[in-house]
């Protein structure tokens, strides 16, 4: 995932003295805000969010949280950092999931 050139629609958050930029578009996407990490590794957190107003998702399993809060973003970042996310290094997005009130490393699709 290439880092966006403009920071439109991104919000800032500071976690453990590091500034990150995040946005929500179906999944949570986080980048380090460091100038040295313009091509840094993205953090992508999926918790099964669907737009329940869409007819095909009316019977979808409930997801939690129902909205993205700074507290949820902070928890996702802290989990990812302890799990090995290197936000300042380039590479494939670091994927995590949130199910049943806990974060886990996402399994690679085969």
**Strand ranges for 1-110 from DSSP E:** 11-15, 18-24, 28-32, 43-46, 94-99, 102-105
Q: How many domains does the chain have?
A: 1
Instruction: Summarize the confidence of residues 23-44 as an average pLDDT.
Output: 79
Confirm whether 1 is domain-assigned: no
pLDDT level of residue 82 (50, 70, 90 thresholds)? very high
Percent of the chain with pLDDT over 70: 67
Q: Is the pLDDT of residue 55 over 80?
A: no
User: Which residues form the domain of 23?
Assistant: 11-105
Give the pLDDT confidence score for residue 37 in this predicted structure.
47
Q: Is the pLDDT of residue 56 over 70?
A: no
Give the pLDDT confidence score for residue 68 in this predicted structure.
81
Q: Is the pLDDT of residue 108 over 50?
A: yes
Confirm whether 35 is domain-assigned: yes
Confirm whether 101 is domain-assigned: yes
Structure tokens at 72: 């949820």
Q: Is the pLDDT of residue 95 over 80?
A: yes
Give the pLDDT confidence score for residue 110 in this predicted structure.
36
């Amino acid at each position: 995932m290439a880092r966006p050139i403009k920071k439109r629609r991104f919000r800032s958050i500071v976690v453990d003295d590091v500034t990150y930029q995040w946005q929500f578009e179906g999944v949570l996407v986080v980048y380090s805000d460091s100038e040295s990490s313009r091509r840094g590794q993205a953090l992508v957190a999926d918790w099964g969010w669907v737009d329940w107003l869409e007819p095909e998702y009316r019977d979808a399993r409930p997801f939690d949280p129902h909205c993205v809060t700074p507290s949820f973003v902070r928890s996702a970042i802290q989990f990812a950092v302890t799990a090995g996310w290197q936000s300042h290094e380039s590479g494939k997005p670091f994927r995590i999931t949130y199910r049943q009130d806990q974060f886990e490393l996402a399994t690679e699709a085969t």
